[in-house]
Amino acid sequence: MTLREEVNGVRARPGKVLRDDFGRLPSGEVIETVEIANARGLRLRVMTLGAAIQSLSTPDRDGHSDNVVLNYPELAPYIERQEFFGSLIGRYANRIGGAAFMLDGTRYELVANEGANILHGGAEGFHQVVWRIDAAEGGDAPWVRLSHRSADGVQGFPGTLDVNVTYSLNGDNEFRITLEATTDRLTIVSLTSHPYFNLGGAASGRDILGHSLMLAADAFTPIDKTMIPTGEVRDVAGTPFDFRKPQIMGERIRETGSSQIALVDGFDHNFVLHGGVTSEPRFAARLADPRSGRVLELFTTEPGLQLYTGQKLGTGKAKTTALYHRCAGMPIEPQYFPDSPNQPSFPSPRLEPGQVYRQVSVYRFSTAAH
């Protein structure tokens, strides 16, 4: 089965909004999609399950447009496989060790879903809830906004959290994600978006090992065997984690002698971005595919960037068949550091009543000549 580039044979025209049904949950609830496009060929489709980026298409150097994020053509795999394809992640992106944390003297026990740890907000995280479409507009800078209210105590997290996400496109071929959250009780928040990028095209059958990557990071946070940060912030100089200049992913993954790469059979690590938490997005990463010529530059307000090379794709047990193979896509996820609630030296994800959590991440697409 091929990936859908259209909704019932119809595409959203530039400046227009296309809204349609994508499928039904076992409960019977309808999952919708909203598609928007700009005049330069950048086309986005999001769905209400997980506020997920269901497809993101952009032209290559020859003007041929392809979807560049891994997705499924039907709803069932999104429910059964739990690969977080394009999903909005919360309440806490990445891992919290021991599925527990202390906050102002109170210990909060969370619901573990990865061994003793909690990953991506737990089994009932934001990726598995149905978001509400609040508004969508076309025009020269089309956008769509979705929202969700997370009740106090869901998966053990304190406070009722109101979250909204706005996805927008502009004439500079930028895809912008703006996230905001408020709480009625002291809590922790770290959100991210989880698209798996393959700039050669999600349906190309090629992996991302030929992509080049550059990161604005002088350090990373090493992990233990349970994939929880040790608390160390390690300089990337002289290690395979040095992406301060563009590096070919396949060459870095195959580096021998790195216990950190061997631990997860690739990369699944947090990088410490320059500048910490910022009020406006600054440069974080540049991903490029020499074959298609597509280039993606990422700008973000977040202090960390999780790099995962997709080495677990194609594995695991589920009713549905895996559509993708090892390293078929690569998330680069702006967020707070993993396990920050238990690491006093890491940036604090604390959110108090009256404050607004705000994250802005901008994905700028362009092409490069041969």
Count helices and strands (H / E) in the chain: 3, 27
* 74 is annotated as an active-site residue: no
Distance CA 208, CA 201 (A): 10
User: What 3-state DSSP class applies to 206?
Assistant: coil
The amino acid at residue 9 is G
123 by Cβ neighbours in 10 Å (0-12 / 13-18 / 19+) ranks as middle
For residue 355, the cross-strand partners are none
Nearest alpha-carbon partner for 369 in 288, 251, 297, 299: 288
Distance CA 129, CA 48 (A): 8
Q: Residue holding tokens 């202090």?
A: 303
Residues contacting residue 6 through CB under 8 Å, at least 6 positions apart: none
Instruction: Report CA dihedral (275, 281, 283, 286) to the nearest 10 degrees.
Output: 130
The three-state (H, E, C) secondary structure of 69-115, written as one string? ECCCCCCHHHHHCCCCCCEEECCECCEEHHHEEEECCEEEECCCCEC
Terminal-to-terminal C-alpha distance of the chain: 32
8 A C-beta contact, residue 335 and residue 191 = yes
Q: Which two tokens stand for residue 347?
A: 């940036």
* 211 is annotated as an active-site residue: no
Choosing from 127, 194, 211, 269, which is the catalytic residue? 194
8 A C-beta contact, residue 224 and residue 230 = yes
Q: Which two tokens stand for residue 104?
A: 């102002």
CA angle 328, 334, 337 (to 5 degrees): 110
CA angle 22, 126, 220 (to 5 degrees): 120
Choosing from 35, 83, 174, 333, which is the catalytic residue? 333
- Which residues are known to be catalytic? 194, 333
